[in-house]
Amino acid sequence: MGIGDKDASFQFPCTIHVLCLASPQDPTIQASVSMYKKIIDIYGHGGEVCIPESTLSLDSTQKMFCQFFEEHCSPFHGVLECGHLECNIHIFPKPQVYSKSHDFEDVELEVCHNIKIVGFLDTSDVASPPFISRHLVFPLPPQTANTDAGASDEAIGDTGKIPSFTVLLHGSLKVENMVAICQVGSEWYGMLYSWADPHKKKSNLMLSIFEPGVKSLPWLGKFTHLAPHQIFTASPYGEDDNKTPFPVKITEKRSYSLNHVGWIKPAGLQADIQKVLRHARKLPEKMPHFYKELNRVRKAALSYGFTELLDALSAMLDRECRLLPGSAHPDAALQLSHAANALRTEMARDITQTITPMSTKYSSIINEAR
Amino acid sequence: MAYPVSHKTVFVLDHGPAMMASSKENIDFDVFNKSRGPGIIPLAPVTKSLWTCNAEAAVEYCRIVYDLFPDDKLVQFVASDTSATSLNSWQHKQQNVQKLLDCLVVLGPPGHKTDPSDCSIVHGLTHAVEVLCELTEKQQDVRLALEETETTLQNKGRIICMTSLKSDRHVQSLQEAVQEAIIQHNQLSANADSFMPLNYCELVFVHVRPVGRKSDSISSPKKSVSPLLSVEVHVTDSGRSVATKVVGLAQRHYELFSTTVTGIPMKEEQNSGSSANYDVELLHSRDVHLEALNSGNTEGLLIQSKEGLPSQSLTLKWCTPKSNIMELQNCVGAYRVTPVDVNSRPSACLTNFLLSGRAVMLEQPRKGGTRLISHMLASHGGEILIHILSSTRSVLEDPPSISEGCGGRITDYRIHDFGEFMKENRLAPWTDQNIACDPLPLQRSENHLERMTRVWPIAIGDTMIFNMLSHLDPLPSLIVKDKLDDDEVLECKKAIYHVVGMESRNEPLPVPNAGLRTKGSKREEQYRQMWTELETLIKVHVSNSPQHQKVLDCFTDCHKTDGGNTSTIKQRDEAIMELETDLAVKELDTYQKLTEREKFDFNKGNSLSQPQSPPVKKIKTESFMFKPVPSSSSPQSLHTMWTNRLKAVHAMRHVEFAGRQESNDNTAELYPKLNETKSEVPL
């Protein structure tokens, strides 16, 4: 494959590390190193080139590999805390440093070694939140986290019988179908939950780390504003645990839930006109709907400065009036010509005004009924 | 750190009389007459003005921006005729489509009577430069935050000017005016509080001409005029094309990409029995398809936008929703979406379906027929997001089970109790901005957890008291509170006296079946351990409030750790007496508050049962005894209570035998006259 050839890249994210078994004095090494660096850049997910120090020997090679393992393969040990309950843990894979340039701020954060649970949520309430990384959380026996890790393997047989908060937490999260929200750094949060492999045979405690920030999951509100539910006068989960305070509703509705009027495509305009017409043909029964739709269309026309439409609508209502069958209610004709005339007046161009039904015997009955 | 140009955009709308010219695009609005017979002549089509088309396009741009980036992407409208008018401000509450539409109504269409020679787009452009120098709420916050780090905020913005341009020279003179305005306003705003010099401005002209008009080729790609200013010119027909053009610009300005959801089953409007498949095109951040676009692995997925956008769209197939959608998905990103054509029926059907709370999986059609679920559409709190689902392999495959590790072989974890604990510690959003929550809600959550876990044994075999909660309730759940009221203190005391009573009667403690990991199986040992645990529990909470101290005092009165000498027993008896007096006084209080009717019922109830009602807690241990126990001295069994009750009920229905009523010693004498008459009967 040629360098710089985009098609040569892998179809999944990967980091490339190159450990050279060559003497740093080798005259060709510089050329090779720069080529390797270029490859790493093309893949774009990071990586590095290592060369043995001084001369190529057993010692220097060993040292190079040891350093590499130290940096990339050393386990991440920490403490899982939930109030006074705690447990030494091993997090795999090792959480990476978060370093990203955002609008208006650069963020560089490291996952803290104390993973602190701040409370719990129902799985349905967190609703599949996006995470930046996932990690398995393994419990460790109380003392080994600080001592020599090498000895722990042999001791495993005995540690199985030491009660571990992590195992309890996993069991309860699984049974109750809940997640634990935890703080993993400064203004940085994640969640712990029971995760089973696709065959559902073996389950484990998983840590998902969210995008840093207190507002990274809008439907949970701000993380810093998550309160114990006891401090509310009425329980947000209801007396019988039949409600939920989530998701947190957005304050400004989006256009798709606003009945937004848009006439960029003729179909949009035609559909709105059709609505007015449908109600017009069922006058006087549909009188309130007719005037509501008429004013809605009128307001949109005024917003877009589309005054020609008001005249066209007026002509259309006049025609509807002429086409009324003989069996029609006399009020239908009255209301249609009233609305058609109103659309032609100056008042129709004044947004503070509303076209209201003509007062007839029938309309007063309707009004009283309402 | 990036200071995006897209943070602030000013739309300069030409509001001169020339804009009232027709767009020359006819729109048939009278189209639904086919079913009404042949006699109807459709009404003449209407045409929009250039102004109407421009306003629609600009509003559509804002609709997309506000839907997708409700926080940090701001747009301001400026109308330009004989002077410049700002329709809204950078303030967050003025950043919504409804506000813009309301302002457009007030502004009205360009006036016919205005003298065209007085009108100039330059007014609007210079005003746009001025408003770009105004700091937004976000910029003010950032400027404050940056002061500490000694870096300075970069103030950048974009002007989109919708007008009709006469020639290249016209463009030239306008860009010079803008350049001049930037230099002037930068001087003015150098030392102002809420203003800041403009570091960079992107000026975008959209030259709009009526449909069919020959093109003057003044279109030009983006070029830099000075370090402060770049200019580009776009030419478009009016009518629908202008909106397409402007939405295309939005796609570029905010790096948007389009997804077409294909094969959405929908009931036909006319014929509700049948259903057909529809497609809906959505706009969202380009990041949604970053992986696919970067890898170039989009063969067969990209189509030309069906809604006529000047871009491609990635197709994803609708998967019929399953019921188990509420499981946690492997979601690696979530971005807001908005339909390209928000008014169409298929769009409305899709958005309403999602807003009702259901989620839809989206599948990438692949060569060879393999299925790959790559995305999910779901709504959260009123907005719709597309979730990216992880489909690549990960290092987390085939992990060991948690039961194979540390603590995995223990079988008596208090799983159920911790489940209850988690429910007790569920979080809820503190949404009321008006009521300050001090300390911060999350801090309160942590404090709550801290209190609740001071004593929390994790295995059944580790604890005595949490296995006998039926005897101690409600003390363990009350003592963890940060405050206790008098009633709650009384409840705690009662619980303590109850176990004191158990000990004095030498009742066995409910030892867990699993076998205690601690030593000692003798009853005294168990009681000693129970008392130690209970003391720890009460002591760790003693500083919560003065009321907690009362509970501890009661505990120490009842259970002196230095052994059971006579004085302690005496003290304990005194304490119990005191409690009973307390209870009696309380009962009397409640009694006096009752109405006559309630008093009657109360008395009747009392007369039905024995005066000394049994302690509730003991029912559990004594319910196995069915033989009636002689009452008065020892507590009643359930059986005696039940028989007493039945007796009392029967007694009420019973009419006393008249003979017994008249008799002296409760025994009626039968045939009292038998002896008398015998002697008197005449033979």
From the list A184, A160, A150, A17, the residue with the least C-alpha distance to A75 is: A150
Local structure of residue B212 (DSSP, 8 states): T
* Residue recorded with tokens 């529990």: B537
CB contact under 8 Å between B328 and A169, yes or no, is no
Residue A143 has pLDDT above 90, yes or no: no
Å between A62 CA and nearest CA of chain B: 26
- Counting DSSP H helices and E strands in chain A, the numbers are 10, 12
Local structure of residue B107 (DSSP, 8 states): H
ipTM of predicted complex: 0.86
Q: Which of A11, A120, A159 shows the shortest C-beta gap to B422?
A: A120
CB B611 within 8 A of CB B632: no
Cβ neighbours of A105 in B, within 8 Å: 1, 142, 145
Q: Which tens digits make up the pLDDT trace of B63-103?
A: 999 999 999 999 999 999 999 999 999 999 999 999 999 99
Restricting to B residues 287-326, those with a Cβ less than 8 Å away from any Cβ of A are: 291, 295-297, 326
From the list B303, B296, B253, the residue with the least C-alpha distance to B69 is: B253
Query: What are the phi and psi torsion angles at B29 (to 5°)?
Result: -110, -10
| Residue B149: both structure tokens together | 């780090």
Q: Return the exposure string of B67-89: e unless at least 16 CB atoms fall within 10 Å of the residue's CB, then b.
A: bbbbebbbbbbbbbbeebbbbbe
> pLDDT-derived band of residue B300, with 50, 70 and 90 as boundaries?
confident
Å between B224 CA and nearest CA of chain A: 23
Residue B484 CA to residue A31 CA, distance in Å, equals 76
Supply the pLDDT for residue B587: 64
Cβ neighbours of B456 in A, within 8 Å: 83-85
Share above pLDDT 90 across residues of chain A, in percent, rounded to a whole number: 49
CB B143 within 8 A of CB B153: yes
Q: Return the exposure string of B504-522: e unless at least 16 CB atoms fall within 10 Å of the residue's CB, then b.
A: eeebebeebeeebeeeeee
Share above pLDDT 70 across residues of chain B, in percent, rounded to a whole number: 82
Supply the pLDDT for residue B561: 52
Residue B37 CA to residue B40 CA, distance in Å, equals 7
Residue B446 CA to residue A193 CA, distance in Å, equals 19
> pLDDT-derived band of residue B566, with 50, 70 and 90 as boundaries?
very low
> pLDDT-derived band of residue B484, with 50, 70 and 90 as boundaries?
confident
Cβ neighbours of B393 in A, within 8 Å: 12
Residue A6 CA to residue A21 CA, distance in Å, equals 28
Residue A159 CA to residue A153 CA, distance in Å, equals 10
Q: Which of A100, A254, A310 to mutate to test the interface with B (most CBs of B within 10 A)?
A: A254
Q: Does B38 touch chain A (CB under 8 A)?
A: no
Q: Which tens digits make up the pLDDT trace of B567-591?
A: 455 555 666 666 666 666 666 666 6
Beta bridge partners of A109: A98
Longest dimension (CA), chain A: 108
CB contact under 8 Å between B422 and A220, yes or no, is no
CB contact under 8 Å between A163 and B27, yes or no, is no
Measured in residues, chain A has a length of 370
Residue in A closest to B142 by C-alpha: A104
Residue B624 has pLDDT above 50, yes or no: no
Angle, in degrees to the nearest 10, between helices B486-504 and B566-593:
130
Residue in B closest to A108 by C-alpha: B1
CB contact under 8 Å between B428 and A131, yes or no, is no
CB B490 within 8 A of CB A200: no
Supply the pLDDT for residue B669: 74
> pLDDT-derived band of residue A2, with 50, 70 and 90 as boundaries?
very low
Identify whether B628 is preceded by a cis peptide bond (ω within 30 of 0). no
Å between A320 CA and nearest CA of chain B: 11
Q: Does B653 touch chain A (CB under 8 A)?
A: no
From the list A166, A163, A81, the residue with the least C-alpha distance to B462 is: A163
Supply the pLDDT for residue B1: 76
> pLDDT-derived band of residue B626, with 50, 70 and 90 as boundaries?
very low
List helix spans (H) across B296-414. Answer: 345-355
CB contact under 8 Å between A312 and B405, yes or no, is no
- A240 compared with B415, residue with greater pLDDT: B415
Q: Which of B101, B382, B415 shows the shortest C-beta gap to A175?
A: B415
CB contact under 8 Å between A159 and B407, yes or no, is yes
> pLDDT-derived band of residue B521, with 50, 70 and 90 as boundaries?
low
Does the CA dihedral B243-B245-B248-B249 come out positive or negative? negative
Mean local confidence (pLDDT), B622-634? 41
CB contact under 8 Å between A118 and B427, yes or no, is yes
From the list B327, B350, B191, the residue with the least C-alpha distance to B262 is: B350
Please give the distance of CA A205 from its chain centroid, rounded to a whole number: 23
Cβ neighbours of A175 in B, within 8 Å: 415-416, 419
Q: Which tens digits make up the pLDDT trace of B535-547?
A: 888 888 888 888 8
Please give the distance of CA B278 from its chain centroid, rounded to a whole number: 32
CB contact under 8 Å between A128 and B378, yes or no, is yes
Supply the pLDDT for residue A145: 45
CB contact under 8 Å between A304 and B142, yes or no, is no
Residue A220 CA to residue A222 CA, distance in Å, equals 6
For B469-537, give the DSSP string: HHHHTTHHHHHTSS---HHHHHHHHHHHHHHHHHHHTTPPP---TT--SSS--SHHHHHHHHHHHHHHH
Å between B429 CA and nearest CA of chain A: 5
Å between B642 CA and nearest CA of chain A: 32
- B391, with CB counted inside 10 A (0-12, 13-18, 19+), is middle
Q: Which of B325, B426, B452, B481 to mutate to test the interface with A (most CBs of A within 10 A)?
A: B426
From the list B667, B313, B681, B406, the residue with the least C-alpha distance to A144 is: B406
Residue A272 CA to residue A127 CA, distance in Å, equals 36
Supply the pLDDT for residue B627: 38
* Beta pairing class for A178-185 and A105-109: unpaired
Residue B612 has pLDDT above 70, yes or no: no
* Residue recorded with tokens 């400026």: B78
Supply the pLDDT for residue B16: 93
pTM for the full predicted model: 0.82
* Rg (alpha carbons) of chain B, rounded to whole number: 42
Residue A328 has pLDDT above 50, yes or no: yes
Mean local confidence (pLDDT), B359-387? 88
